[in-house]
Amino acid sequence: MISKLKNINIILFSFTAVVITLIGIFIINRFLFNEIPNLPEDIKKMEESKFLFFIEAIVLVPLLETFIFQKVVIDFSTRILNRFNKETFYLPIIISSILFSVEHFYDIMYFFNGLYMGIIFAFCYKIITLRKENPLFIVTVIHSFVNLLPVIRDIVLT
């Protein structure tokens, strides 16, 4: 029974993270930039097939980005901060989020979207780590769902 409740909590947590991320991106794009972003042209040029693009955007990229920007950056910065007895909850989130947003700097709108998503993903990673769950897997799934809507939109419209 406890394991079922634990799974429900993670599922609700993950769903909430996806919804909060999508709402935040909509607000940033609509009210700050008054537009809806399309995929950058250099990414569109890389599309060899819709299936490969789908697999890349929904599986490979979220897994790789979660590994690099959450697992490596957060775990490494937390270890370094622990050595100096510094606060280890918020600073790794900030570092991870900034690096995530710089990697998504196709233009200023993507930078702010990346910063917002980076904060959500890093926060989720820290919380799930504290719960002694599998943060790499769960944040990758959250990231995949966040990527799913624009990918489907772009596949359908092209």
- In a domain, residue 42? The reply is no
Containing domain of residue 20, as a range?
2-35+48-157
pLDDT digits (tens, 9 = 90+) for 32-45: 777 666 655 555 55
Query: Measured at the alpha carbon of residue 154, what is the angle toward residues 22 and 152, in degrees to the nearest 5?
Result: 60
Q: pLDDT by residue (tens digit) across 55-94?
A: 888 999 999 999 999 999 999 999 998 888 777 889 999 9
Number of domains in the chain: 1
Q: What is the mean pLDDT of the chain?
A: 83
**In this structure, is residue 43 part of a structural domain?**
no
Instruction: Establish if 40 belongs to a structural domain.
Output: no
Residue with tokens 């935040």: 24
Q: Are 92 and 78 in contact (CB under 8 A)?
A: yes
Q: How many residues does the chain have?
A: 158
* 18 CB-contact burial (10 Å; exposed 0-12 / middle 13-18 / buried 19+): buried
Structure tokens at 6: 């634990």
Whether 123 maps to a domain, the answer reads yes
- CA gap 111, 62 in Å, rounded: 17
Minimal CA–CA distance to 95: which of 132, 129, 70?
Answer: 70
41 belongs to a structural domain = no
- Express each pLDDT in 101-137 by its tens digit: 999 888 888 899 999 999 999 999 998 988 888 999 9
Rounded to whole angstroms, how far apart are CA atoms 70 and 26? 23
Q: pTM to 2 decimals?
A: 0.82
Q: Is residue 19 part of a domain?
A: yes
- Which residues neighbour 142 within 8 Å (Cβ) at sequence distance 6 or greater? 14, 17, 18, 21, 120, 121, 124
Instruction: Provide CB contacts within 8 A for 34, sequence distance 6+.
Output: none
